[in-house]
Amino acid sequence: MKKDQLYISMWMFGCCMILSLFVHAQSTIVKKGARYDTIIQKHITKSPAKPVSKPVAKPAPKAEIVIPVPEYINQPYFYNNDSNQVIKLENATAQMVTRKKTFGLKGAKQVLTMDGSSSRIRFTAKKEIDFIIKTSGDVIDLTSYIKLYQFVPADQKREVTVNAKEGLLADKDESKGKLVNFSVKMISKDNYMIQLTGQPEAGEYGFVWVKNMELKEFTVYSFGIDWKTNN
């Protein structure tokens, strides 16, 4: 019996020693900070990131269109907007003819007449028709030097009445052809664009350089319009 009590006392003493060593070891580890069962991390609230604004893409600048310069001066060229080209008009020679009616009693007319009832240069697409002209540099008002006439076909010729003078007797005959209005815009030094005012009707047309109206012969830069006949 005493021997059993001795074993029990020794076992309890051993347990106490083991427990004491375990507690001492735990307190030593906590003091040294070598390891922790629970890791506590400080929570830092971050402000939301601002969206990065992308630079606005600028449209690429359009390439500047350089309008070609006609080869010859004082000659209107048709300007093709689609191909950016200038095209020569047909050159024809017109005679200035004075016609008197009834010995002048019904007045007199100055008529420009040229051979051929139509021009080889034709416009069939219904759109704006522009022209380019290069001058010699001494032109002040281009509209006073060059005129655009609508000619009328007559007996295998094209004619337009330029001037008419009334006589003592009334004349019911209408003047042939008419003057066509246009506007002029400078596009570069000594180069101008001629734009027709309104939509021209079908017919025969021609530019005439009228700087000297005393001449008997004039060069006409002619063209024809057919679009109404295609409708």
Q: What is the pLDDT of residue 87?
A: 93
Average pLDDT over residues 37-58: 60
Write b or e for each residue in 139-155: b if 16 or more Cβ atoms lie within 10 A of its Cβ, otherwise e.
beebeebbbbbbbbeee
Q: What is the pLDDT of residue 13?
A: 66
Q: How far apart are CA 58 and CA 8, in angstroms?
A: 95
Q: How far apart are CA 47 and CA 42, in angstroms?
A: 16
Average pLDDT over residues 178-202: 89
Domain ranges of the chain: 1-31, 77-230
Q: Which is more confident, 32 or 184?
A: 184
Average pLDDT over residues 55-75: 80
Instruction: Tell whether the model's pLDDT for residue 32 goes beyond 60.
Output: no
Q: What is the pLDDT of residue 218?
A: 93
pLDDT in tens, 68-113: 889 999 899 999 988 999 999 999 999 999 887 654 455 788 899 9
The DSSP result for 60-117, as a single string, is: PPPPPP-PPPPSSBT--EEEETTTTEEEEPEEEEEEEEEEESTTTTT-EEEEEEEE-S
pLDDT band at 46 (very low <50, low <70, confident <90, very high): low
Q: How far apart are CA 67 and CA 73, in angstroms?
A: 16
Q: Mean pLDDT, the chain, as a whole number?
A: 77
- Among 123, 118, 119, CA closest to 79: 123
Average pLDDT over residues 7-35: 58
Q: What is the pLDDT of residue 20?
A: 62
* Token pair of 170 as six digits: 């009334």
- pTM, to two decimals: 0.66
The distance from CA 76 to its chain's CA centroid, rounded to whole angstroms, is 22
